[in-house]
Chain A
Amino acid sequence: MKRITIDPITRLEGHGKIEIFLSDDGEVDNVYFQVPELRGFEKFCEGRPVEELSQIVTKICGVCPGCHHMASGKAIDAVFGLEPPPTAKKIRELFYMAHFVHSHIAHFYALAAPDFVVGPTASPAERNVLGVIGKVGVEIGTEVLKQRRIAQEIQALLGGHQTHVVLNMPGGVRKGLNEEQRDQIEKQAKDFIEFSKFSLNVFGDVVLKNSDYVDLIVNGPYNLKIYSMGLVDENNKVNFYDGKVRMVDPEGNEHGKYGPNEYRDWVAERVEPWSYLKFPYLKKVGWKGFVEGKDSGVYHATPLSRLNASDGMATPLAQVEYDKMYETLGGKPVHATLAMHWARLVELLYSAERCLELIQDPDITGTELRAEPKEIVGEGVGIVEAQRGTLTHHYWTDKKGLVTKANIIVGTTNNNAPICMSLKKAAQGVIKKGVEVTEGTLNMVEMAFRAYDPCFSCATHSLPGKMPMILNIRDKDGNLEQSVRRD
């Protein structure tokens, strides 16, 4: 048995490592994706006043803190038995749409685009954001950084702190919007829409007009026939802030739909002794191992799964792009892992359109920002759709509102099993007996992982410069057989 270790490859809520085992004749036997880190938020949230959790849990992830802030804010509302007034709800969702715009821009341009705009097997020295800018021009590159900055500034305006937001209070928000701020954000939201349309055009020109890429997406080793999960509104349209979680099976038939309080009837988590990160699965289907198909409870919670699990987008321009994506890829549901990049851009356009809808809503400059807490119910669940998957926060408190227990299922965690499986399939697809493992091979394995945009990967490859990486293949005694270096 030979063994390939990639440590670290890409970061996921901390530190990720991949172990690829090869049989003696050089075929991929198995792949393990290990998460070697744990911080234990669930435990040390105990004893804290529940209203503090919306600020403590943002520290789970500094890349998507807004998601934890929102799921937590909703769980805390429930602990107090409160429904925020319309203005507060819309301000929260507005903040959240800006959060999606910033994150999806960063992921597409800094991380995904190099593989397509520059090329999956292009020279690694060029396969980064500078290479992308080299192809599309400095003007566009500056525009990308600018649009992401504006999305960050909208979050800072609403949430005080641009990373670890302080917007939510039990039953509402701390700060409202004035007319001047409203006008400014309206203009910015219109720019987001134009920029999203432009981004979809870039994808169309670079990827869809290249038959090799379309072939790679549809027929490459990047397919996983598993369940799809996503939050939907009352019309089964994609929603990130509110609604019910819908699941569809690998054929696209509805498996079920649950509200926040019912999550434990539908989702369970498994522990494997070789990873600190748990493996969620659909409880009613059951855990059958790392296998595909309708009888296996493995599901993904990604931009693609959200589109698969919905009946469409709630905004007009995004709906057109939704239809176009399914038409091009042969109908719903789509199981091509790399189509997650396309779905992410459809979501970017939706976020921009929704941003504009919310800022044009007369309620947005309202002054009723909070519902007043009157009692402590003592238990609450909050669910939102994070960029990287359905996010669930569940808190229990004593009569004073001090936390007695907390249970959290994080976005990326949903995708732990699918990431393991995608990496194995990609490795099996590209590492072949008798064929030298090249630098390009490495990138083709990495592409399987990158599509999921696991936490922190938004920042991956975002800096120009050299990105060397070494892959060592050793025999069973640990002797070096082949070393591949990417400089």
Chain B
Amino acid sequence: MTEESKPKLKLAVYWGAACGGCCVSVLDVHEKLFDVVAAADLVFWPIALDIKYKDVEDMPDGHIDVTLFNGAVRNSENEHMAHLLRKKTKILVAYGSCSHLGGIPGLGNFTNRQEIFNRVYHESESTVNEEKAVPQTKFQVPEGELELPEFYNDVRTLDQVVNVDYFLPGCPPNTDRLVDVFMAIVTGAELPPPGSVVGAWDKSQCDDCTRKKTDQKVVKAFKRPWEIVDDGVTCFLEQGVICMGPATRGGCGFRCIEGNAPCKGCYGPPADAPDPGAKMMSAIATIIDSNDEKEIEEIVDGIVDPAGTFYRFSLPSSILRRKLIDVNEPTN
């Protein structure tokens, strides 16, 4: 088969509970857009193309070569689409933090459906809702019945719902990493075993970080970012500011570090340390300047919101999964 007659790759991009940043990361190929379109036909991408769900349902199984699924599974529509796209796709990629780990919407697992509805539709200071209206999955209007997807109690990652072939981390993934993976698929390069993380390094951020480290026990107290004057050079952790670098895979391009902000962990845990919280606790232990147990405890207590910090992007995929819920609250 000649190069010219080789069929173009059929590519789909879909989002569940997401912000659109993953789709923007695809658009950020900028002028290379024409090269991408020369190598692949986009067969489904709701943010960019007006192709309906029905069109996807009509496709034969395995019709799509690669689907980049971004966004978490927050409601019944996200779940339905995950199953549908799994069926229609040869290589299903969990693209970005939300589908990989739960992402920022995954912080919703610190609360639950009822609390979210109460806040948004009843307690919000700008909301006037004397009728106590709440969105309904089925609602009768004079002209007929309207439907909405069911909002679940829990946020789930893509691989908690369907089988995933590869994980491409990041919030959003670095566009260069996407192009690397895309080119590997287009050129028919040998792909890693299914279930692998692609487009990121195995090692942690710290391995290549440009900030200077002494590797000494230098921290007497943990500070909030605004409590220090960052010198722009020294490792954030050694300045006493929590940085998720030790518990995060490299590959992002040090975007936050370049902006003088500590890492928040969007690339997820490195291969050798699957739980970010456990990894951070051990990293923190190595920099605390004390041998006194009580003092160490006080220093660690100085970390505000540890769960929301260590599991900022990964709560649904972590060993915690969620905050304990009332048994009376229905779950999905």
Chain A residues within CB distance 8 Å of chain B: 1, 3, 7-11, 14-15, 19, 21, 29-30, 32, 34, 36-40, 42-44, 46-49, 51-52, 55-56, 58-63, 65, 80, 142, 145-146, 148-149, 152, 156, 159-167, 169-171, 174-175, 263-264, 267-276, 278, 280, 283, 287, 370, 373, 394, 400-402, 405, 407, 409, 446, 455-456, 459-465, 467-470, 476, 486
Contact = CB atoms under 8 A, between A and B. Distances in A.
Given A8-B52, A271-B129, A3 B144 contact: yes
15 contacts: A11-B20, A34-B146, A36-B148, A44-B107, A46-B111, A52-B305, A58-B19, A63-B20, A149-B30, A278-B121, A456-B23, A459-B24, A467-B49, A468-B55, A470-B55
B20 A167 contact: no
A376 to B, nearest CB: 11
A275 B42 contact: no
Interface string B119-163: 111001111110101111001011110101101000000000000
B46 interface: yes
B183 interface: no
B282 interface: no
A174 B20 contact: no
B140 to A, nearest CB: 9
B103 interface: yes
Contacts, number: 271
A14 B23 CA distance: 12
Contacts of A272: 133, 135
B17 to A, nearest CB: 6
B119 A469 contact: no
B54 A470 contact: yes
A18 to B, nearest CB: 11
Contacts of B77: 15, 36-37
Interface string B247-263: 00000000111111100
Interface in B167-181: 171-172
Contacts of A21: 143-144
B141 A44 contact: no
B23 A48 contact: no
Given A39-B74, A42-B120, 20 more contacts: A36-B149, A42-B119, A43-B115, A43-B120, A47-B308, A49-B304, A51-B226, A61-B21, A80-B226, A145-B33, A156-B255, A160-B258, A163-B24, A166-B261, A170-B226, A174-B230, A175-B260, A455-B20, A459-B20, A463-B48
Contacts of B51: 467-469
A161 B119 CA distance: 31
Interface string B11-28: 000000111111111011
Shortest 3 CB-CB contacts between residues of A and residues of B = A160-B259, A62-B21, A40-B116
A394 B172 contact: no
B126 A19 contact: no
B45 to A, nearest CB: 7
Contact of A271 (B17, B30, B134, B172): B134
Contacts of A80: 226
A463 B31 contact: no
A174 B124 contact: no
A8 B257 CA distance: 38
A263 B139 CA distance: 31
A399 to B, nearest CB: 12
Nearest to A472: B54
A271 B259 contact: no
Interface in B222-255: 224-227, 230, 255
B189 to A, nearest CB: 25
Contact of A407 (B126, B134, B144, B148): B126
Contacts of A373: 226-227
Interface residues of B, number: 83
A427 B31 CA distance: 37
B116 A32 contact: no
Nearest to B262: A166
A274 B50 CA distance: 23
A467 B126 CA distance: 40
Contact of A51 (B48, B49, B129, B224): B224
B104 interface: yes
B105 interface: yes
A273 to B, nearest CB: 5
Q: Most chain-A Cβ atoms within 10 A of its Cβ — which of B103, B110, B261?
A: B261
A166 B108 contact: no
Contact of B30 (A145, A163, A459): A145
A264 B143 contact: no
Contacts of A47: 110, 305, 308
Given A61-B20, A462-B27, A264 B125 contact: yes
Nearest to B129: A271
A459 B23 contact: yes
Contacts of A142: 31
